[in-house]
């Protein structure tokens, strides 16, 4: 028996000397997101019409008729009129916390309020009515995950308040990762 | 006669001006269009949504009251959905899935093809599908490329070609033009007169291009800080109309 085990051990020992010692990858500083904290009743946490605002982190777009909708990543949707192709103008903004998606059928706007899919009637904008809500269509998206996937982000610290938004910043890969 | 023509023209102008000032999302015959990076898409009376693992179908014949119909589990890290010719092209970080909409309430997985790990939106035209692969911190992988697939038989998509790029995002097709957003490396314009052999014709610099929607003679480009509009009455020679930045 020993005659079998001993050579095997010897082979293992020789082989293992070729095997590189595992080293954890060095942390890197990469593009990512940092939470912005505020009170739980902050206005940017409510769905509704808001004043025109700058496009800072421009997201996905959807076109219907002469209107163009562009997501402001994690914050809401810009409503743009481009009937005059040479002079497009912003008509307003729709605050939708956690929003990343947009599509329309007639005057019903489909978007995501964090992980829920919501349908908003925008035919009487700036009056905006929530017509329907489907819970957990994107189960992995929560107020505590950044508005983009496959990114590193500064992990949320609840003792600092509610997350009312996200800011694009350099973060270390030692932080949380959103798949 | 002239005065009549002029007043007619004037009336027309007034009418169009009146229409353009309507509220957001006023019903029009136009059913709307999203970009290649979308997770939502509407085809007829159905809305399709992809989360990271599933494709879900909703009946939206009454748009204000969607009704959940069915879901298909497709794997991991699903990112984009693109409708084309009775099928849905679903991009995931490990491959391309094609789902048939023969029954629109119940999409069925019909074919798939694996590729190296990367982020990957899809568009299709004729029997050809174009996929961009973007590598990077989040997306994984090391390959940045434009992939060309033959999808004449959706059950067995075949890779035809792979063209190296810098770090592509979304893409779009209009006629014989294929537009590929290569981030800060510009908007690439390929001649796809020969569908399986995209030929780089031009490159527009100056913005961080993320996605495009070719729509009724206008190319709408999603930029990291706004939008740009190009006249594409000649699809391979986009002419800048305007930008809306910040």
pLDDT tens, B169-185? 999 999 999 999 999 99
Residue A74, SS3 per DSSP: coil
Looking at residue B1, its pLDDT comes to 44
pLDDT surpassing 60 at residue B20: no
User: Mean pLDDT, chain A, as a whole number?
Assistant: 89
Residue B3, SS3 per DSSP: helix
Per-domain residue ranges for chain A? 27-178
pLDDT surpassing 80 at residue A38: yes
Q: CB contact, 8 Å: A117 with chain B?
A: yes
Distance from A164 to chain B by nearest Cα, in Å?
21
Domains and CATH numbers, chain B: 31-212 (2.130.10.10)
* Lookup result for tokens 């912005």: A36
d(CA B92, CA B71): 16
Distances (CA, A) of A11 to A1, A3, A15: 16, 13, 6
pLDDT surpassing 50 at residue B27: no
Say which CATH class A27-178 falls into. Answer: mainly beta
Among B19, B139, B227, the residue with its CB nearest the CB of A150 is B139
Quick: pLDDT tens for B47-105.
999 999 999 999 999 999 999 999 999 888 898 999 998 999 999 888 889 999 999 99
pLDDT band at residue B143, thresholds of 50, 70 and 90? confident
Report how many Cβ contacts below 8 Å link chain A to chain B. Answer: 188
In chain A, residues with a C-beta closer than 8 Å to the C-beta of B24 are 67, 79, 91-92, 107, 122-123, 125
pLDDT surpassing 70 at residue A125: yes
Choose the weakest-confidence range: B21-35, B179-193, B213-227: B21-35
Among B63, B77, B139, the residue with its CB nearest the CB of A106 is B63
ipTM score of the complex?
Answer: 0.85
pLDDT band at residue B233, thresholds of 50, 70 and 90? very high
Looking at residue B136, its pLDDT comes to 74
User: Which two tokens mark B97?
Assistant: 């899935």
Looking at residue B80, its pLDDT comes to 92
Taking CB atoms and an 8 Å limit, are B25 and A122 in contact across chains?
A: yes
In chain B, residues with a C-beta closer than 8 Å to the C-beta of A63 are 32-34, 213, 215, 220
pLDDT surpassing 90 at residue A11: no
Nearest CA in chain A to B39: A101
Residue B199, SS3 per DSSP: strand
d(CA B138, CA A177): 8
């Amino acid at each position: 028996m020993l005659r079998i085990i001993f050579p095997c051990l010897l082979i293992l020992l020789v082989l293992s000397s070729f095997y590189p010692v595992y080293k954890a990858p060095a942390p890197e500083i990469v593009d990512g997101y940092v939470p912005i904290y505020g009170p739980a009743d902050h206005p940017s946490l409510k769905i509704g019409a808001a004043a025109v605002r700058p496009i800072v982190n421009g997201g996905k777009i959807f076109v219907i008729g002469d209107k163009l909708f562009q997501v402001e990543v994690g914050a809401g949707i810009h409503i743009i009129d481009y009937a005059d192709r040479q002079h497009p103008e912003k008509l307003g903004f729709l605050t939708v916390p956690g929003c990343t998606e947009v599509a329309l059928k007639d005057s019903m706007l489909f978007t995501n309020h964090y992980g829920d899919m919501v349908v908003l009637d925008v035919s009487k904008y700036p009056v905006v009515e929530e017509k329907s809500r489907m819970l957990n269509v994107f189960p992995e998206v929560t107020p505590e995950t950044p508005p983009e996937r496959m990114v590193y982000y500064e992990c949320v610290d609840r003792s600092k308040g509610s997350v009312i938004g996200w800011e694009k910043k350099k973060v270390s890969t030692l932080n949380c990762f959103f798949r | 006669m002239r005065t009549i023509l002029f007043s007619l023209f004037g009336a027309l102008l007034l009418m169009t001006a009146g229409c353009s000032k309507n509220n957001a999302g006023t019903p029009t015959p136009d059913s709307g269009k999203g970009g290649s990076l979308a997770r939502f898409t509407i085809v007829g009376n159905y809305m399709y949504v992809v989360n990271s693992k599933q494709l879900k179908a909703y009946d939206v014949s009454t748009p204000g009251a969607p009704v959940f119909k069915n879901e298909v589990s497709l794997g991991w890290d699903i990112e984009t959905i693109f409708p084309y010719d009775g099928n849905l092209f679903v991009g995931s970080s490990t491959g391309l899935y094609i789902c048939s909409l023969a029954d629109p309430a119940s999409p069925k997985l019909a074919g798939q093809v694996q590729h190296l790990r990367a982020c990957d939106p899809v568009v299709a035209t004729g029997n050809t599908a174009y996929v961009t692969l973007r590598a990077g911190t989040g997306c994984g992988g090391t390959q940045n490329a434009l992939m060309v697939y033959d999808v004449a038989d959706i059950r067995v998509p075949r890779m035809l070609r792979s063209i190296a790029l810098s770090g592509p995002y979304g893409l779009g097709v209009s006629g014989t033009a294929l537009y590929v957003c290569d981030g800060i490396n510009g908007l690439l314009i390929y001649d796809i007169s020969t569908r399986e052999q995209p030929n780089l014709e031009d490159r527009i610099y100056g913005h961080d291009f993320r996605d495009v929607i070719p729509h009724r003679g206008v190319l709408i480009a999603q930029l990291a800080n706004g939008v740009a509009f190009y006249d594409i009455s000649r699809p391979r020679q986009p002419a800048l109309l305007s930008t809306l930045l910040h």
